[in-house]
Structures are given as structure tokens and as C-alpha cells.
Structure 1
Amino acid sequence: MKKTALLLLLLPSIWMTACSDDDNSNVNDPQAAEGQWKLVNVSGSIAGTSHDFAPGTITWTFDEDANTVTVVNNNTNENAEDFFASGTYDFHFEANQNTPDMCAQSLFIENLELGCQTETATQLVLSQTWADGYQLTFVK
């Protein structure tokens, strides 16, 4: 009986010390997807849009030091949503004010909110689908 009572007292303290502090996660301090990315798909919106692009038709090159993105847009389909004409645009991150809060920071390019950024070694996804917005998918 004493062993059971002691075990019940110790278990909560073991659980408490096993917790990790993830407050220092880089999710709160996003960085731009440095380098060149090829836009391959734009989907979403309330209309259910989906446009595929051949890799290299539209490229975005992020320069984190200058907080700019250079877009080279060779898309000739005027019905396809491709967001930006060729040019260099400023970008920044702001605290996500949207509900549900899918990420801590949203990416803005020229004050256009593109939403949450998810990056792997070969893919970048910008998503604002929580608000019936668009999802942009890029490849390296």
C-alpha cells in the first residue's frame, strides 16, 4: 500500500520533468525561403482554382538579407492565377491574426498576405487556405 501511494506521488513529478520547453521553436521567427523556387501550382480560393505550371515558368528568388523576392514570370496563360508579374518585391512577416491560428507568422509580399510558410529541402508551400485563400506550391 505504501509503495502504491509513493508511486502515485512520484508519477506527476516524473511527467512534469519529462515535458520539453518548445517556446524557443523557430516557428515564431520564420525566415524567408532563401534562394530560387519554381512555382508549380496555385490552388484554392472560394472558386476552387487549380493551376499547374511547368517548373521554371515562374521563379521566385528570395533574398533574406534585402527582404526582397525577385519574380520572373513567363506564364502566358492569362486565365491562370500567378500572383506577381516579373519584378522585385519587398516581403516581411507579421504576427498571424487569423483564426484558426495555423502559424505564428504570415508572409506578406508588397502587403499581400500569402499566409503560412512550410518548407522542406525540396518544396515550399505558402498557404492561406484557412480563409478560403490560395495555396502556392514551389519546388527547388
Structure 2
Amino acid sequence: MMMILAVRSFGLQGEWNLINVTGGFTEVDQDFEEGIIIWDFNESDSMLTITNNSTITEVYDGFPSGVYSYSVVTLANGSEELVVNEINLGTFTSTSDSFTVNQQFRDGFRIQFMR
């Protein structure tokens, strides 16, 4: 069991477009056009507004449209994980214009976002 060292925001403020989902048991590799699935982070209240207009039903595309709580958790080993609506989505890495959530180590998905 991993020990949690800290929970904090991570410079996510604003809108991000989900652009790709890969992995899973079926080896998905699905691109999404900009504007189809938007995650809008509000760091002042740790809330995430998701607008999901995807019509693709056979591929994992995150959460349905709605408002969710979120946090970035720093573990004792130094890795960071994104938690949305109390669901740990996996290891979190970011740059100023992109971020990735990766749970492929659990046979899950790798989800990529761009500004």
C-alpha cells in the first residue's frame, strides 16, 4: 500500500481537450477531435467540469458530462496520481500544454490531454 504524502493542485487551471485514449484489455487506440471532450479544472475549489460530446460508445472516454471533485496526490515514492470523484485514474505527468494519466500498469488506459 502506498503512503500519501500530499494532496495539491498542479497547474491544471482551465480547459483541456481529451485527445487520445490507448490501452486496456482490448488495446484501444482512439483519437478524439479537439472540443469533443473537454475537462475544465477550477483550482480554486478543486472542481472539474467535464463536457463529453463523444458519440463513440465502444471506447472508454473518461466520465460523462458533469461536475466532479478532483485532486493530485503525491505518493511516498514521489509519483503523482490524479483522483477524480474519489476514483484514482493513475499516474499523472504534465507539461505546460499537455498532461497524461496512465493506468496501463493496471491493464488500464493511458489518457492524453492538450490545451
Instruction: Say whether the fold is shared (TM-score over 0.5).
Output: yes
CA deviation map 1:28-64 (0-9, x unaligned): 6652411110000011123211211001100001111
Give 1:138 deviation, angstroms: 0.7
Which one of the candidate residues 38, 49, 55 is aligned to 1:70? 49
1:67, CA displacement in angstroms? 0.7
- Is 1:48 the counterpart of 2:27? The answer is yes
Q: Give 1 or 2: higher helix fraction.
A: 1
Q: Which of 9, 19, 32 lines up with 1:31 in the alignment? A: 9
1:119 aligns with 2:94: yes
Rg: which structure is higher? 1
Larger strand proportion of the pair: 2
5+ residue gaps, structure 1: 1-27
Q: Secondary structure at the match of 2:38?
A: strand
Aligned residues of 2:72 and 2:80 also touching (Cα < 8 A): yes
| Count of matched residue positions in the alignment of Structure 1 and Structure 2 | 109
CA root-mean-square deviation: 2.0
Higher relative contact order (CA 8 A, sep 6+): 2
Distance 2:87 2:108 in 1: 11
Percent of residue pairs bearing the same amino acid type: 28
Is 2:56 the partner of 1:81?
Answer: no
